[in-house]
Amino acid sequence: MNATVFEHARIVDPSRGLDEIGTLIVEGRKIVAAGPDALNQGVPDGAVRVGCRGKTIIPGLVDGRVFIGEPGAEHRETIASASEAAAAGGVTSIVMMPDTDPVIDDVALVEFVLRTAKDTARINVFPAAAITKGLKGSELTEFGLLQEAGAVAFTDGRHSIASAQVMRRALTYARDFGATIVHETRDHDLAGSGVMNEGLFASWLGLSGIPREAETIPLVRDLMLAKLTRSTYHAAKISTGISADAVARAKQEGVKASAGVSINNLALNENDIGEYRTFFRLDPPLRSEDDRLSMVEALRNGTIDIIVSSHDPQDVDTKRLPFADAAAGAIGLETLLAVALRLYHSGEVPLIRLIEALSTAPARLFALPGGTLKPGAPADFALVDLEAPWIVREADIRSKSKNTCFEDARLQGKVLQSWVSGRKVFEL
């Protein structure tokens, strides 16, 4: 087996608190060593040597929230096209949402996704299964059988479960299988017909608003139920300061809770909507600058555990519409890392904390291999030039859908190579 040696790179491995110049050695599908002492045993015979001076090696990103159109809406995104986009963004593992057609609420669908991924994807694809049949919020799915088939978590995807009783039963039942319930909270009655953050800007635009409480009230309910049932709960995408406070309080009380944030709510605010730009219609909506800053602080202090792209491909048929009629969602796999690096370049969040939230923490949360450069771990990593400037061009987007919030944005930090299980799956 030929080894590859990446020399003189900045090695960032949050799983070991490591951020130093060193070497990464890959042999076969595994990492042999990574860090300043990696060459203590010398360079393996016949190894290919790659000079990486000025470059950084990070564990491949693990994106905990990715929507894909296969099966059912392959014109928007297939598992194959999503995996191309992911590889280009340094994302080596994704957790795929069950919002497909048919819904991933049955063992056969989990098997279909895993089989299709094996045949067509360059990266690791882990399906999450629905909590309720058909994402309808009433009847539980077969957690045990779905988990055995390969579902890594349970979530109703874009759908929020209105019934506290159903949520309680889901949490209770999930505990028996050691499964994590992942939930995007949204009170449908309170959100009403809202399409963006409630406030002055929405009022001037003449758009109905979604109050912050529409996210936080069901979140608080869920956190209380997680405490009652002693189950593991993950708030999929929080967007407000009051939600962050609720999560922090629950964690202090010992609730097995964690939280994620969409990269969009870390990088953008409601003003980016500008003149009704539908690519900025998101769920949860872009909030005020104060909320965005709360998200950054919650990420920095560990209240928020993971950053997700919430990659959600939408086509012209769902986006080229008046703002209020357009579908919510934006793609994000290719830009996830570079946009997150804005917080590093601005000095707001240390690099190692960012990479932890993008890779190590989600891998741990969903019990996935990867997210680390420890010896023996699968060789899932990215070689990155943290400083390289680039401009996001629609023509360069690999996703089938082009609904990015970052078109023509100037970003700093480019993925040069992505590796999955010791195989190079992307090179710039």
The alpha helices in 253-370, defined as continuous H runs, are 263-267, 289-301, 316-319, 336-345, 351-355, 361-365
Shortest distance, position 102 Cβ to other proteins, whole Å = 16
Shortest distance, position 371 Cβ to other proteins, whole Å = 28
Kindly tell me which of 148 and 325 has the beta carbon lying closer to other proteins.
Answer: 148
Can you state the percent helix, strand and coil of the chain, rounding each to 5?
Answer: 35, 25, 40
Kindly tell me which of 36 and 144 has the beta carbon lying closer to other proteins.
Answer: 144
Shortest distance, position 254 Cβ to other proteins, whole Å = 18
Q: Which residues contact 97 (CB under 8 A, 6 or more apart)?
A: 65, 66, 67, 68, 128, 155, 157, 158
Kindly tell me which of 134 and 199 has the beta carbon lying closer to other proteins.
Answer: 134
Strands (E), 89-203: 91-96, 124-127, 154-155, 180-183, 196-197
- End-to-end CA gap in the chain: 25
Instruction: Residue 117: name the closest of 181, 75, 71 by CA.
Output: 71
Kindly tell me which of 180 and 239 has the beta carbon lying closer to other proteins.
Answer: 180
H/E stretch holding 414: strand 410-420
Shortest distance, position 346 Cβ to other proteins, whole Å = 46
Shortest distance, position 117 Cβ to other proteins, whole Å = 24
The conformational region for residue 209 under phi > 0 = left, psi -120 to 50 = alpha, else beta, is beta
Sign of torsion, CA 237 366 422 16? Answer: positive
DSSP codes, 278-299: GGG--SSPP--HHHHHHHHHHH
Kindly tell me which of 179 and 331 has the beta carbon lying closer to other proteins.
Answer: 179
Kindly tell me which of 131 and 247 has the beta carbon lying closer to other proteins.
Answer: 131
Kindly tell me which of 2 and 138 has the beta carbon lying closer to other proteins.
Answer: 138
Please tell me the number of Cα atoms within 13 Å of 219 on its side-chain side: 30
Shortest distance, position 175 Cβ to other proteins, whole Å = 6
Q: Report how far residue 135's alpha carbon sits from residue 228's, in angstroms, rounded to the nearest whole number.
A: 24
Kindly tell me which of 29 and 169 has the beta carbon lying closer to other proteins.
Answer: 169
Kindly tell me which of 166 and 207 has the beta carbon lying closer to other proteins.
Answer: 166
Shortest distance, position 151 Cβ to other proteins, whole Å = 13
Q: Report how far residue 46's alpha carbon sits from residue 26's, in angstroms, rounded to the nearest whole number.
A: 12
Strands 232-235 and 180-183, bridge-based pairing: parallel
Shortest distance, position 130 Cβ to other proteins, whole Å = 11
| AA letter at 148 | E
Q: Which residues bind other proteins (CB under 8 A)?
A: 132-133, 138-145, 169, 172-173, 175-176, 229
Shortest distance, position 234 Cβ to other proteins, whole Å = 19
Residues paired with 132 in a beta bridge? 140
* Residue bearing tokens 């089938």: 400
